[in-house]
A = this chain, B = another copy of it.
Amino acid sequence: MAKNLQEMRQRVCLANQSLPQHGLVKFTWGNVSEVCRDLGMIVIKPSGVDYDQLTPENMVVTDLDGNVLEGDLNPSSDLPTHVQLYKAWPEVGGIVHTHSTEAVGWAQAGRDIPFYGTTHADYFYGPIPCARSLTAEEVEQAYEKETGAVIIEEFARRKLDPMSVPGIVVRNHGPFSWGKTPEQAVYHSVVLEEVAKMDRFTEEINPKVESAPNYIMEKHYSRKHGPNAYYGQKGQVH
């Protein structure tokens, strides 16, 4: 168990440090966590600490309710959002939140990121949803926890599978993404940001553009996912 936790600390540290390498964050504006339900533990970035100051040792370890078990530093203030998503979605193993610029553009505009092409379909099965803003009451009560609740509500309302649509933008706020692992969650953050940019360009070039055909989504998503996937090498996780 000690070994597993140490590996979690290393993975979460590396995943956090990859955020600036992918151009997704400025200063300390993003965080990655990993959950291990067997250990009953979440490992997450400490709040407000620069990425180049992160080490496996200064990651914060909490229980599945977000109570700090190990670490002298405060956990990311977004921890309660992560906790809600881990509780609701048992297949999710890692979560990322950033303020990446293109994704924030859609979040602030209050629009779903449309399905216009195969780059999108390779990783997201359908439009990337934009969740509603929190109400004044939700903000007042437990802001970060309610952010998680709003995301879960949006997926339930639209009957979406979080493993097929591994990300969302929250209105007036920014993107969250997830995956089986923290590495995959970061990968999905990069895809979400890139698709957000491609779609902005697309609408600029053709303001009357419509969604791409559904059968292209089916094909591209199933090239990389599910029993008949044939992209990449055997045993690779996409």
Contacts and interface: CB of A to CB of B under 8 A. Distances in A.
Interface of A: 26-29, 46-49, 73-74, 77, 99, 101-102, 104-111, 116-119, 133-134, 136, 139-140, 143, 172-174, 187, 190, 194, 197-206, 209, 212-213, 215-216, 219, 223, 230-234, 236, 238
Given A48-B238, A133-B213, 16 more contacts: A26-B190, A47-B232, A47-B233, A48-B233, A48-B236, A74-B230, A77-B223, A99-B119, A101-B197, A104-B201, A108-B198, A108-B202, A109-B201, A118-B173, A118-B174, A204-B204
A2 B110 CA distance: 54
Select the residue from A28, A143, A194, A201 with max chain B CB neighbours within 10 A.
A201
A138 to B, nearest CB: 10
A173 B205 CA distance: 15
11 contacts: A47-B232, A73-B233, A74-B233, A105-B198, A105-B204, A106-B205, A108-B212, A109-B205, A111-B205, A133-B213, A200-B204
Nearest to A202: B108
A73 B234 CA distance: 9
A109 B194 CA distance: 16
B101 A230 contact: no
Given A133-B216, A202-B109, A104 B77 contact: no
A232 B140 contact: no
A194 B101 contact: yes
A36 B187 CA distance: 36
A202 B110 CA distance: 9
Given A29-B119, A118-B172, A101 B198 contact: yes
Given A133-B216, A136-B215, A77 B26 contact: no
B190 A101 contact: no
Contacts of A187: 27
